[in-house]
Amino acid sequence: MLPPLDPAIVQRNPNFEVLYKDLCTRKLNPDGSTRDTKKQRVHDEIRRSLTIARTNYHSSQILIDSLSSLSTHTTSLPPDLHSPIETTTALLTHQIPSSDRDILTENTTTFLDNISPIATTLSTHLAQTATHICTIANPTNPPTFSNLNATAASLQENATISLPQSLQHANQDLANTLTTLLTTHLLLLTHAIRILEQTQHGALTRHTHTTSEHMHTRATLLALQAKIHMLAHPPPAEFVAALKEFRRVQGSGERGLRDREMLAKKGLELYGKAGEKGMRDLARRKVWIEGEIERVEGEIGELERGG
């Protein structure tokens, strides 16, 4: 199977399209092998002869196997025919030597004299077997015995012709799809490279880089101008006085905070030195003072009511 052609190649080379069609139709088989008409005819004849030989062989084997099991699978034959059938089967399978065949002539003669009922029973047995095979082949919709040959031919055609051709077409479609995918991927990569070139090394990137450098230069210039202005123009006296006053107030507030911090540390040291006993004494004194306050407030209240 040749790969599909790119339409662009066909447009540029019309003669190549003719060569491609000639290869696909006359020189190559559908499977991609070289076409040789003479050899293919010989191969087809050999294939037909082989099919006929295999069919005859398997038909003979089926008849012999069915005949060997006929006595055990049917009850329509009389018992006196069982022995001739078994003897004939043994002769057909070459299980009896040639020197002993004369002794079994009577059984062979009996088998041939009763060939009609034996053939009828064998046909019935084969028909039942074929029915079972049809049911096994398609349990939901088994084919009828009359359509068995057509069904088998259809299955053989599907297995040898239709399905391989479908597989070949599927492979060709897959190859075409893969070609389309690779072409699309190539276009995607081309656009991606172009976009990267424009964003990393193109005009847009250069413009962005130039703009950022210009803004950086302007910011540096403004910083230098502000520094020069600050050095060339001293601040007003009112502004300097306000800054000094703010610094003085901030310093006094800082000293006040430091004094409060020292007093708090001293109080913590006194509490640490007093320990648990000192804390209990303070608690008792607090309770006593609160009691005295309540007593004095009560006496004052009585005096006010009495007055």
Q: DSSP labels for 35-79? A: P-HHHHHHHHHHHHHHHHHHHHHHHHHHHHHHHHTHHHH-SSS-G
Q: Report residue 190's pLDDT band, with 50, 70 and 90 as the boundaries.
A: very high
pLDDT value of residue 2: 61
Percent of the chain with pLDDT over 90: 10
Q: Report residue 196's pLDDT band, with 50, 70 and 90 as the boundaries.
A: confident
CB 91 within 8 A of CB 108: yes
Instruction: Record the pTM.
Output: 0.40
Mean pLDDT computed over 206-210: 80
Q: Is the pLDDT of residue 165 over 70?
A: yes
Tens-place pLDDT, residues 254-296: 888 888 888 878 877 776 776 677 777 778 888 888 888 888 8
Q: What are residue 245's DSSP bridge partners?
A: none
Mean pLDDT computed over 35-53: 82
Lowest pLDDT segment from 18-32, 96-110, 133-147, 245-259: 18-32
Tens-place pLDDT, residues 116-158: 888 888 888 888 888 888 888 778 888 777 777 787 788 778 8
Q: What are residue 28's DSSP bridge partners?
A: 34
Q: Report residue 307's pLDDT band, with 50, 70 and 90 as the boundaries.
A: low
pLDDT value of residue 274: 67
pLDDT value of residue 306: 65
Give CA–CA dist 84/117, Å, rounded: 13
Cβ-based neighbour number of residue 163 at 10 Å: 11
Spell out the alpha helix ranges (H) of 103-162. 105-113, 115-137, 148-157
